[in-house]
Amino acid sequence: MSVLKEILSEHKEYYEQTIKMARSDLVRTYRASALGWSWAIIKPIITIFIYWFAMSLGLRAGKPHDGYPYFLWLMFGMVPWFYVNDMLHRGTESMRKYRYLITKIHYPVSTIPTFVSLSNLFINTILLAVVYILCLCFGHMPTLQNLQIFLYMFFSYAFFTSWSLFAAPIAAISQDFLNLVKSFVFSLLWLSGIFFDIDTIAADHPTLGIILKLNPIAYLVSGFRDAFMSTGWFWERPLWLLVFLVELLIMFLLALWSYKKLRKDMPDVL
């Protein structure tokens, strides 16, 4: 509880500074490129197009889903993945990247994962807006269920900010842990239901479906699709929601444990 109180106190006291650091992180990320922030949109769109081309035209596996072309269906799953991917990479190495805040000056270390997460969330919000505009262009009008997007954005932010607070101190101590996380990211891309419908897998192979649904990323991807396509409310999958919330609580507790255990060692190692 003492660690939780300390973290909450630092976030409250340095709220404005955290927002400024999130803006600074955006500038640092894209200032070296001529197109600046445009790359935050261009790169994901190119990536989505390549996967769509490979799946739909190359493997001929892309089929429409509930009246939505496979390209849009794929985008609904890829957009939340881009935030997850950034947090698994940049979130995990955030304290290594901002080591000067830990070793050179007095700064609330617990806010580093927070402002890195806010920076990535800002980019993800722009991508979500682009996808929503594309939906309108394809003739899919807004519905009340679309508002669930904000809930799933909050779930994503809460889970992966907690992940960052857990993983970043460990990565600051051990480069091997950082390399291990990076080696698993690509596998998660293919195990999170982004290129296939987990419900279809679960219907044919129940045990495999249960295993896949234990992946919190799969829940977020499915939730974003439900919200965009207006195919269900979040409370209509109560068991899956409960599993995710339990995983979120576990991740938050692990974050508190990791930060408490390693915060005093990080300045010496870095």
At 190-226, the pLDDT tens digits run: 888 888 788 888 778 888 888 888 999 999 999 998 8
- How much is the average pLDDT of 61-66? 65
Alpha carbon distances (Å) from 73 to 126, 156, 216: 18, 19, 19
CA distance 90 to 245: 24
| Tokens matching residue 255 | 């974050």
Please give the residue range of the domain that contains residue 85.
Answer: 2-269
Query: Would the pLDDT of 265 be above 60?
Result: yes
pTM of the model: 0.87
- Of 42-56, 88-102, 218-232, the range with the lowest mean pLDDT is 42-56
How many domains is the chain built from?
1
CA distance 145 to 74: 19
CB atoms within 10 A of CB 268: 8
- Of 66-70, 112-116, 126-130, 173-177, the range with the lowest mean pLDDT is 66-70
CA distance 159 to 144: 25
